[in-house]
Structure 1
């Protein structure tokens, strides 16, 4: 296990040193990335993050986290062990218990918030993204006009007006 974490650090250290690009590195599942994973971490310690199915060493998703910076990545559906490995190779890697990323209710995508401290994983708690459809401020005028046109009626053979489209928005649920 330690060899695997060291190999991950070495594999990820080159791109980080050259480009310092943090965030998603690879999604090897082929599934859509839709469920939230947020990590709060102490400053000064950049980490490689991998998700693996329990009992497997195959990496499903990998990302780079800048220590102390806000980190959120969308992950595929499933149950995964999240592993953190320091990019400088100094210190042990950390693993969570298996965490499930799934639909948790109508229009709600369940994920997790992980809090790291100097001693390890200090806490995990569920979070969710809620989806809703709505009209943007500019579409309200168009919507009123649409309903006025419908109320006034249309001539036989005249095409009915097309309503403005609703926009999908996502936010963290309370």
Structure 2
């Protein structure tokens, strides 16, 4: 009986350690205190996986971590700010503490990148790590606008008709004007 229990315990411990070292995918954590809404795209080859840390230049601390599987399309939303992008790469993921073991390669992009939003754009970046000659960084923006939903202004029984030309034809008392509704349209722009 003790032998069966020890065997089950060994299987449980092995399964637990194996699951903690499985390759994650995407955002691991965001400790910035801000919403992550700005685009960061990363292109990689299938040679290695990457752990990405965004280090806030102003506060001098890592605020976001994401795991990029090599060769797969990767997009993560990041908070606004100016960040150094620090990458750890390798083939054998061993968890956040050990990264990729003794074969971990760590590098930082040359310049910090700024992520910000305006009324009409969410500005981010595209990082291309596939080129042998070096890393390519491109600006990327997601444009957005509010588009009025015309159905929200249609005359419904007892509601305001915005096309009423003669106010004397208005029902008594004047009905409450409906609140216009808007749809957000988003597209990639430069």
Give the Cα–Cα distance (whole angstroms) in 1 for the partners of residues 120 and 153 of structure 2.
Answer: 24
- CA RMSD of superposed structures (Å): 2.9
Q: Which residue of 1 aligns with 2:141?
A: 128
Q: Which residue of 2 aligns with 1:116?
A: 129
In the superposition, the TM-score normalised over structure 1's length comes to: 0.74
Number of positions where the alignment pairs a residue of Structure 1 with one of Structure 2: 156
- Work out whether residues 94 and 121 of structure 1, in 8 Å CA contact, stay in contact via their aligned partners in 2: no
Unaligned runs of 5+ in 2: 1-17, 93-99
Change (3 A) 1:158 1:21: farther
Match of residue 67, structure 1, among 56, 70, 75: 70
Q: Which residue of 2 aligns with 1:170?
A: 186
Unaligned runs of 5+ in 1: 1-12
Aligned-partner SS, 2:57? coil
Is 1:35 equivalent to 2:38 in the alignment? Answer: yes
- Work out whether residues 153 and 162 of structure 2, in 8 Å CA contact, stay in contact via their aligned partners in 1: no
Structure with more of its chain in helix, by fraction? 1
Q: Which residue of 2 aligns with 1:6?
A: none
1:1-174 matched pairs, under 5 angstroms: 15=20, 17=22, 20-54=23-57, 58-86=61-89, 88=92, 89=100, 90-96=103-109, 97-103=111-117, 105-117=118-130, 119=132, 121-135=134-148, 139-141=149-151, 143=153, 145=155, 149-152=161-164, 154-174=170-190
**Which structure has the larger Rg?**
2
Q: Which moves more between the two structures, 51-60 or 119-128?
A: 51-60
- Could you report, residue by residue, the CA deviation over 1:84-140 in whole angstroms, capped at 9, with x for unpaired residues? 11252234122112111123x5411211110002648520011111111125xxx54
Give the Cα–Cα distance (whole angstroms) in 2 for the partners of residues 101 and 38 of structure 1.
Answer: 12
